[in-house]
Each structure stands twice: as structure tokens, then as C-alpha cells.
């Protein structure tokens, strides 16, 4: 239940920006809209059959991580740790089997 409240708060923060393409120098990020957020978790929180990919194991996808977009050049995920009240934003290289 606590996590659902944090996800709702995260969605409010995302929706305050109507701009979905964010450029940071040569680094461009696509930020999901609220309607895209659930589909954006595929391959990270769960697979295409809705099987969980979350693990407490080091280097695996963590429960508190929510994918909010991706880097447009390589498709690497941009995600937020909602277990941290500061909502830090991270990215990681896809395809390495470790996060």
C-alpha cells in the first residue's frame, strides 16, 4: 500500500511536465506519460507475461525502482528509487544482466 502512494506521488511529479523529451547536452531522455508508465515496466519490473523480475539479490531489479523513461539513443532505462524520499533518478546500461 505504501508503495502505491509513492507511485501516485511520482506520477503527479511526472505529469507536471508536459514535455516528454528532455535534453541534457547530447543526452536525450524520453519520459513516459501516466498512460505509458505500466507498459514501460516490461523488461524491468516484470516480463511480457507479467512474471516478476524483482529480486532482493544485489545487481537485480529492486522493488522500489520504477522506470519513468529511457535514453533515446541506446534505450537504457531511466528509473526512480521510490524507497528513498528524495526520489533519486538513475540510469543503467541494458543487456548487462546487472543493474
Domain segments of the chain: what residues? Answer: 2-91
pLDDT digits (tens, 9 = 90+) for 49-79: 999 999 999 989 999 999 999 999 999 999 9
SS3 8: helix
Q: Can you tell me the mean pLDDT for 17-37?
A: 76
- pTM for this prediction: 0.77
pLDDT of 15 reads: 64
pLDDT of 78 reads: 94
Alpha-carbon distances of 38 from 11, 26, 44, 53, 96, rounded to whole Å: 11, 27, 11, 14, 23
pLDDT of 99 reads: 72
Percent of the chain at pLDDT > 70 equals 77
Q: Which residue has the cell 543526452?
A: 27
Amino acid at each position: 500500500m505504501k508503495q502505491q502512494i509513492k507511485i501516485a506521488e511520482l506520477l503527479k511529479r511526472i505529469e507536471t511536465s508536459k514535455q516528454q523529451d528532455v535534453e541534457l547536452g547530447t543526452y536525450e531522455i524520453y519520459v513516459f506519460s501516466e498512460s505509458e508508465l505500466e507498459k514501460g515496466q516490461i523488461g524491468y519490473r516484470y516480463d511480457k507475461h507479467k512474471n516478476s523480475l524483482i529480486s532482493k539479490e544485489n545487481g537485480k531489479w529492486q522493488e522500489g525502482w520504477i522506470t519513468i523513461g529511457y535514453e533515446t539513443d541506446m534505450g537504457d532505462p531511466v528509473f526512480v528509487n521510490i524507497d528513498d524520499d528524495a526520489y533519486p533518478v538513475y540510469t543503467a546500461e541494458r543487456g548487462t544482466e546487472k543493474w
